[in-house]
């Protein structure tokens, strides 16, 4: 049947459908591997056949935060289930730590004979809740490797039976669980898990910061149509990989930045903007005017730059490039993250995962435009 014989109303419907398909192609790029759509707020978004899952904290912020009204989020329940299922070993690295549910789960793991090892930042011990959290675990016989240098042990990850790794911007804290914006990835790809095992073993041996060495076993892992690149600073260069991906972004760049003071990364964003690439950046409000912040520079250059609208903390350190590439981890866009602190960063190419991060960016960006009314 030719289009000339179709009723005008049907032709209009066909044109509308084609327009929607074209809009989706522009938004997300060429079709990637089949995968589920992002889940609802607070639920995991699955990619790469389920080997990657990402959770976003505080999907529905309520003010003021009242502890008795808290409900354990889905990611906390999932992590606690993984800890409960561990039978041999658990390794955990975190900059801050005071979440009682995780301490209690690790204590139960020790009671059933699981080897528990921690790598923690010593400077956080001046907070009584963190000192108590670490002390409870040390009393069970869990071993702790302490970062003692001028840098921070800023990485955040948990390894379970060397089969699963959780990592992202989330610290093992009440604030990061119930108040702050974070992303948390659950990964079961063996090569990526092996990378985090190698990094933890450096810390377990007392090597932190510039004292670390050795190559990442699998710097680039392939999983179906997805690729996952893993980096650890300061003994590996990270900034150059971020700059390389930014230089290849041609359709869109979205950034969520807790702390952003890196001149080279700022210049790369300005270059993209000058070439006509839409660039949007949401800064954590209290750091926007901090020492060395790139906030004013990017605004002066004409980029769409905003302060976040969370009454607590926008703690993401993430980029979404061209609807296909995700850059995320503990690595803030700062010189200290590159040269001093213990950090981890993932660069993941997967359009399904990128769609989930784009959804989170949209939520945070909208809240930046219409900030919450804070108690």
- Residue 31 within a domain: no
In the chain, the number of structural domains is: 1
Which pLDDT score, from 0 to 100, does residue 318 have? 98
- Residue 86 within a domain: yes
Given pLDDT bands bounded at 50, 70 and 90, which one contains residue 226?
Answer: very high
Active-site residue flag, 121 = no
Number of C-alpha atoms within 13 angstroms, CB side, residue 208?
A: 22
Active-site residue flag, 322 = yes
Active-site residue flag, 315 = yes
What is the pTM for the complete model shown? 0.88
Catalytic residue among 82, 262, 308, 322: 322
Catalytic residue among 154, 156, 317, 350: 317
- Residue 39 within a domain: no
- Residue 312 within a domain: yes
Domain of residue 302 covers 45-369
Q: Which long-range contacts (CB under 8 A, 24 or more apart) does 61-65 make?
A: 61/179, 61/310, 61/311, 61/312, 61/367, 61/372, 63/311, 63/372, 63/373, 63/374, 63/375, 64/375, 65/178, 65/179, 65/312
Mean pLDDT is lowest, of 146-150, 254-258, 288-292, 346-350, for 146-150
- Residue 162 within a domain: yes
Mean pLDDT is lowest, of 63-67, 296-300, 330-334, for 63-67
pLDDT tens per residue across span 98-109: 999 999 999 999
Catalytic residue among 315, 316, 342, 350: 315
- Residue 266 within a domain: yes
- Residue 114 within a domain: yes
Which pLDDT score, from 0 to 100, does residue 153 have? 97
- Among 307, 312, 304, 301, CA closest to 287: 307
CATH number, residue 67: 3.30.870.10
213, pLDDT greater than 50: yes
352, pLDDT greater than 50: yes
- Residue 234 within a domain: yes
What separation, in Å, do the N-terminal and C-terminal C-alpha atoms of the chain show? 63
Average pLDDT, the chain: 89
């Amino acid at each position: 049947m030719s289009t000339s014989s179709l009723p005008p109303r049907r032709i209009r419907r066909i044109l509308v459908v084609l327009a929607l398909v074209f809009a989706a192609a522009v938004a997300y790029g060429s079709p990637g591997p089949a995968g589920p759509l992002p889940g609802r707020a607070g639920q995991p978004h699955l990619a790469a056949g389920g080997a990657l899952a990402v959770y976003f904290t505080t999907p529905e912020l309520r003010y003021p935060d009242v502890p008795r009204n808290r409900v354990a989020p889905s990611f906390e329940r999932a992590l606690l289930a993984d800890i409960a299922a561990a039978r041999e070993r658990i390794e955990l690295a975190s900059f801050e730590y005071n979440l009682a549910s995780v301490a209690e789960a690790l204590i139960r793991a020790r009671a059933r004979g699981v080897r528990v090892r921690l790598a923690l930042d010593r400077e956080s011990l001046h907070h009584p809740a963190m000192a108590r959290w670490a002390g409870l675990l040390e009393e069970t016989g869990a071993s702790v490797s302490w970062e003692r240098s001028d840098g921070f042990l800023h990485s955040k990850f948990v390894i379970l039976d060397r089969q699963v790794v959780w990592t992202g911007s989330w610290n093992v804290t009440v604030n990061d669980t119930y108040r702050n914006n974070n992303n948390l990835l659950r990964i079961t790809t063996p090569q990526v898990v092996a990378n985090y095992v190698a990094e933890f073993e450096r810390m377990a041996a007392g090597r932190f910061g510039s004292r670390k060495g050795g190559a990442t076993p699998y710097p680039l892992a392939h999983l179906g149509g997805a690729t996952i690149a893993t980096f650890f600073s300061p003994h590996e260069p990270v900034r150059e990989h971020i700059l390389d991906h930014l230089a290849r972004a041609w359709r869109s760049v979205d950034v969520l930045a807790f702390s952003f003071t890196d001149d080279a990364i700022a210049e790369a964003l300005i270059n993209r903007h000058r070439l006509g690439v839409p660039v949007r950046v949401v800064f954590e409000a209290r750091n926007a005017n901090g020492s060395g912040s790139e906030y004013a520079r990017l605004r002066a250059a004409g980029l769409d730059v905003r302060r976040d609208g969370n009454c607590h903390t926008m703690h993401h350190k993430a980029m979404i490039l061209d609807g296909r590439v995700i850059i995320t981890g503990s690595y803030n866009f700062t010189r200290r993250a590159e040269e001093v602190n213990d950090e981890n960063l993932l660069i993941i190419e997967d359009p399904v995962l990128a769609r989930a991060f784009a959804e989170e960016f949209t939520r945070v960006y909208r809240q930046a435009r219409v900030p919450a009314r804070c108690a």
